[in-house]
A and B are shown apart, each in its own frame.
Chain A
Amino acid sequence: MSERLLEIHDLVASFQTEDGWVRAVDKVSFNVDVGKSVGLVGESGCGKTVTAMSIVDLLPKPSGHVLEGEILLKGEDLRKVTDKRLQAVRGGEVGVIFQEPMTALNPVQRVGKQLVEVLRIHKKLSGRKALQLAIEWLDKVGIPDPEQRAMAYPHQLSGGMRQRVMIAMALCCEPKLVIADEPTTALDVTVQAQILNLLENMRRELGMSVLLITHDLGVIAEQCEEVVVMYAGRIVEKGTVQDVFTRPAHAYTKGLLSSIPRLENAHKSELNTIPGQVAAIKDFVPGCRFCQRMGRRNTMVRRRPPYTEIADGHWVEACRECYEG
């Protein structure tokens, strides 16, 4: 029996907009076990990032709020702790790697200094010791000449190098959980391969868990043990990567998997598509939202479909149109 690190129960995250409150994440539940790598996948606007950022309360304020649910990190409900404790968790027990390091890093501070700041706050190190450790971490994430690069500003580094700095910042306090939000989306494939490899090595070395958010199913298949597929603010399917990729149950998962151009595809053949697009959040129906996209008008539009466990740990939102059980 593996040990639970993070448990999320019925998470609801909402945003205040001109159209009133909209539910970007609508009762989402999943777990991350110790040492495991879980992928969170879905198209843009389906609530992946909002789900992940809710964990450490990094939703854009004042419009974003976690309204309901439990977020348990080693049994401690992060929704109920003090701000001070949450600050210690953020960057301490939970590291976050953001998609675009150019906006996440401070542009007017040397990267070494930014790392030192993290280490001084969370590890209570003296300036000298922190700098030494910062340089060690830059070296660990594969940055050549770490002493010199520590003195560089973010704009002086390439995209891949900036992402390495972000990883060093997220990992330098040896977190138990790393939330990586599209860590390689802005990078070229060859650099992506380097960064994913680095992340994987670090995970093994430090025994941490990873919650990897991406829209790239290829990245999930290679990096993760478990996968959570989100659509329009809800989970439509979750399970081991093996189960979900080889025996996808929900029509959305099937559609996603079959619309990827693959290298072995017949040349210029027609790709499978999912018609339409994700509805705007304010238009989400209470029932099955994939039926909404497909233009199906049936009872499922009115009532939310239940979840069914179709194999050990393989769950699917059992809409009778989208899942043939």
Chain B
Amino acid sequence: MGKKSEFLLQVSNLKQYFPVKGGVFGSKVGDVKAVDGVSFHIKKGETLGLVGESGCGKSTLGKSIVRLLKPTAGQIQFQGMDITNMAQPALRPLRQDFQMVFQDPAESLDSRMNVNELIAEPLVIQRMGNARQRRQRVNELLDQVGLPKSAAQKFPFEFSGGQRQRIGIARALAVNPDLLILDEPVSALDVSVQAQVINLLLELQRELSLSYLFIAHDLAVVKHVSDRVAVMYLGKLVEEAPANELYQDPKHAYTKALFSAIPVPEPGHQRERTILEGEVPSPINPPTGSAFGSRINHPDYEKTVGVDLTPVEISPGHLVAPDQCCLTSEDFAKVKPKEEPLPASTD
């Protein structure tokens, strides 16, 4: 085993590009920069929430971390081991420790396998236990996620959405992982069932001291389950902070806009509603400067072109992109990149 690290998962400057092919011979004409230089870490027992709009690259990020994709650049360290370029056979035993739960359990569960086979499959792949032990483990897991033992012989279509998501969670937990990547685990569920699944995830985390990367577009859900929240926009993180602090004192204009766009179930609720114009721009030809600044046509956009917008600390544990377009002048002064010595002026 590699050396012990303070962090369970550490991601540095991760990039995940997809080639865009075009022209007569299908030659590469560009890249979709789905994830473009993202860094963060997750400690043991901690939940990092990841929010952003569709197309911002959050699911791709999840998939690169569990190495369902081969990252273009950067580094992923899991329990101190560099898994960025590890070959699949070497990776397989490590997969016991990180598992993924997908958004739509109807699609991610094989409809021809019964629940017993579905939950036992990761155990078979990891060659854990014999048939009898596996059956016992399946029963244990069903109990843990709140399904009756009789569920084992049924097929996915016999369950409701919430129950299917419980099966997905049981399947991910089968091999005793330390980290779960949860990709929109409750987005497809009704609110009363969503609350059941959120409670289950919180309870499992307490019992098994699991770490979560919780990916979702619903800021209220993410804030509820997370210790820290990172906000992603067009392939890059723009802000990261402890969950309560992000809600009470968001710094980045995009984070503020996201909060203000959430409809609140209280009639007459007064809020400053910033209605954003436009939509997330295409990651094929992303703006060279501040991506959000270009969406809102900020007058200072030109000043951000070519500037490194990697989030930096504005207060302990609170990181924000040093983006002139998206911060108040007061906040910007705190995170402004150090002035480079000016080239000798000519006038």
Contact = CB atoms under 8 A, between A and B. Distances in A.
B108 interface: no
B225 A268 contact: yes
B243 A267 contact: yes
Interface residues of A, number: 47
B224 interface: yes
Nearest to A227: B267
A272 B195 contact: yes
Nearest to A42: B190
Contacts, number: 131
B192 A43 contact: yes
Contacts of B273: 193, 197
B3 interface: no
A220 B264 CA distance: 9
A277 interface: yes
Interface string A258-284: 011111010111111111010000000
Interface stretch (B66-74, B124-132, B255-263): B255-263
B267 A189 contact: no
A197 B191 contact: no
Contact of B265 (A218, A273, A275): A218
B275 interface: yes
Interface centre among A161, A192, A270, A273 (most CB of B within 10 A): A273
Interface string A140-160: 000000000000000000111
Contacts of B275: 193-194, 197
A33 B274 CA distance: 30
Given A215-B191, A260-B191, A273 B266 contact: no
Contact of B268 (A194, A242, A275, A277): A242
Interface centre among B190, B263, B279 (most CB of A within 10 A): B263
B241 to A, nearest CB: 13
Given A189-B258, A222-B269, A263 B223 contact: yes
B192 A191 contact: no
Interface residues of B, number: 47
A82 interface: no
Interface in B144-195: 160, 162-163, 190-195
Interface string B260-295: 111111111100010111011000000000000000
A215 B194 CA distance: 12
B262 A265 contact: no
Contact of B257 (A44, A190, A257): A190
A191 B279 contact: yes
B195 A190 contact: no
A44 B260 CA distance: 26
Given A190-B53, A270-B199, A255 B192 contact: yes
A60 B244 CA distance: 47
Enumerate the 10 nearest inter-chain pairs by beta-carbon distance, A residue then B residue, closest first.
A218-B263, A259-B195, A274-B192, A188-B53, A43-B190, A261-B224, A271-B195, A217-B265, A193-B261, A189-B261
Given A222-B263, A268-B224, A277-B160, 8 more contacts: A43-B193, A188-B217, A190-B53, A197-B273, A242-B267, A261-B195, A263-B220, A263-B262
Interface of A: 43-44, 158-161, 188-194, 196-197, 215-223, 241-242, 245-246, 255-257, 259-263, 265, 267-275, 277
